[in-house]
Structure 1
Amino acid sequence: MHTTVGIVGAGPAGLLLARLLHRAGIDSVVLEARDRAYVEQRQRAGILEQTTVDALRAAGAGERMDQEGIVHHGIELRFDGRAHRIDFPGLADGRSVMVYAQTEVVKDLIALQLAEGGPLLFEAEVRAVEQSADEVAVRYVHEGAEHTLRCDWVVGCDGFHGVTRNAIPEDLRRSYERTYPYSWLGILAEAPPVYDELIYAHSARGFALASMRSASVSRLYLQVPNGTDVADWPDDRIWDELDARLATRQAPGWKLARGPVTAKSVLPMRSHVTEPMRHERVLLAGDAAHIVPPTGAKGLNLAATDVALLAKAFVHLHESGSTRLLDDYSDTCLERIWRAEHFSYFMTTTLHAAPDQSPFETRLQLSQLARIASSPHAAAELAHNYVGVALPGRPGAVASAPTGPDLGEQAP
């Protein structure tokens, strides 16, 4: 086969790019190593920034999201036995976020792509991406046979362990990484959320996060040591620990609503950036280029903005013949990515207790959290970063897909 844009990986980044290109009249082929069931069941992010919501609407994938997504106008910080709410609209120019699980985003995009888009091949394992002067050849195996997809351009959306990144020569590729000394134990539970917004908790026992997927399904996390085995954490132990870490003096006896735990996993914490994100006709997007710890809710949103910018660049090329936006793609993305990396690092290191953390370092964390609770300027900086990362040098400007209605106009 030959296509204009070959997309490696059918996660949210690859699928969203394929949809945006399809609606612009640009052909693409998506290759995914896993089967459809696996892709649709991967538990990942659930917080969508306004720019991600806009990109999904622009891709024609907003109908179910707007019906079932839950608009959040803030988060609650719990620390030192007290709670403090961060009001997003009041602090961040009226902007908010939406809770809509990545699994549902992926299901919506797959259904649309299969119904009306270009080819989407599951269980198509890419073995190599090879560039020549005027095209890129993607070697892959599908249904037991070897194939070659010839492309004008290739976008690698195949994650941290994918092969596309290797198309950037090693001597030109730079990687920056930090591995954190703790992990998250995450659960899905058939239990109503105890609070109508996310709760981020700093405690002497470690970090905890109370999130949700719907009005009847909770998504909850505990900080645990690296190498933790989920078998060592029976359900009752998890619930008891969540209650202890989320407790405040303002609400003695406060408890989470408990219910059957339907999924349980351990998530390592890592920050990673690969530069550059383009080499000749190969471009990287999403986890193939950058990873953030989930504390700042940035992973899916960074990926969505990557591909929104890529779609705009391909449309510009299609209409004008100019590669200017593609030439600028890596530098434009990396400005925003490093800002998000810093915010995610800040949220992670401020809210988690390192294994060797001293009482002095704990007091510094509590001082920083108290400053956020008492200073409108500190709270506004957190709120602006949480709802959408501004591009450096452009006050108030946020990299985005075509604009759409504000989140507040949509019923939860």
Structure 2
Amino acid sequence: MRIVLAFTVGLAVQAALVAPALAQETEQPEITAAKADKARFEAESAKYAADKARSEAEAAAAQAHLGPLASYQTAGTVDVGANSGKLEATLLASAATSRLAAHIVERVCPQLAPGGGMAACSIPPTGQACPAYTTEAKPLLVFTEQAVPNFDAYDMFRMQLESIEAQLVRALPAGDGTISAGVMGLPAAATVLSALANLFRSDYKLSALDVSQSDALLVRSFIEKANARCLDRPIVSPSLLQPRLEIEGNPALARLNTAGTLRDRAASRSADQKRAMSAEKAKTDPEIARLDEAVARFDAFLVKLGTPNEKGSVPLAMVARQGQLDGLIDESTPMLILKAEMAGGSAYAKKNFWTFLGGMPFSVSGGSLVSFTLVRGRSAEIVDAGVLRQTEPFMKIHAATKRFSDE
């Protein structure tokens, strides 16, 4: 028993002595790795401290030589001159306008086709049938907002001439003169177009880039697109209309010729009456006085029509132009009024790591806002209208230049 007990105690003591050694042997790799990591960290820290000390020494030397280093930093903004990028922004805005013109063509041309909006008549004149609309290729009259005529000169011409005609007819014996159709009985296109002309072109500035565009650019773009889409009818720009000087082809001149015929009859009647009586009696004859007064009024009116105004324009030429245009417009003539409401451009400059390495810091954009109104002739019915807008995305200025140089 004593021998067994002693052996057991000996084994326990041996196990107690061997266990820590085994544990120490098991943990040795982890401790070694930790020590290695610590040594590496301390080495890197020492290297960082050395690099920092060297950088501070170099910065101190540079500052002593160059002055404050803040003056040489790359941080800050990019300075650009006034109107920088204006050309590119204008080109982008014009591209937007061209796209909008194509959209207007897609809206308007189907309306002109048989069965389209122009063929329907939702508001016929009171007591009358709907104005006839045939497949005849009536011209599409395209007006810029600034070029929409108001027919003031032509309306004034007709009113004055009607009054003169009436005076001539009253002076002539019954049956020797005829009265032309009254002005108020004619459905004037002036009422329609003048109401649509009460808009004014405005210039806009955005980010110091004035890229305002005239209505003419929109009209030209529309005509370019429409010539390929609306193939069944001519497109007429009234601003380019040259008046016909033949009496048969111009309503104003035809009307003036009619009044001139009455004037000649009155002058001839007056001369006959004067020959039939003494000079003294002719001076007091009421009929001769009426005839001479009417003839003199017509002659004065004719002189005024042929006398250039302060702007050098001859009133008769203006009246002839407006009269011929008025003759082109019937109850179903399609009239399109286009307006470039606004064109804008913007630019921004930025500076970052990439621009520091030589990247382009300047970008531009452009956009356009336009409107259109499609009117059915003298009926003044609005067939279609809309306001369209288009913007071009910001582009680096060299990319915008390349885009348009390739077109």
Same-fold call, TM > 0.5? no
TM-score bracket, normalised by the shorter chain, equals under 0.3
Larger proportion of strand: 1
Larger proportion of helix: 2
Higher Rg: 2
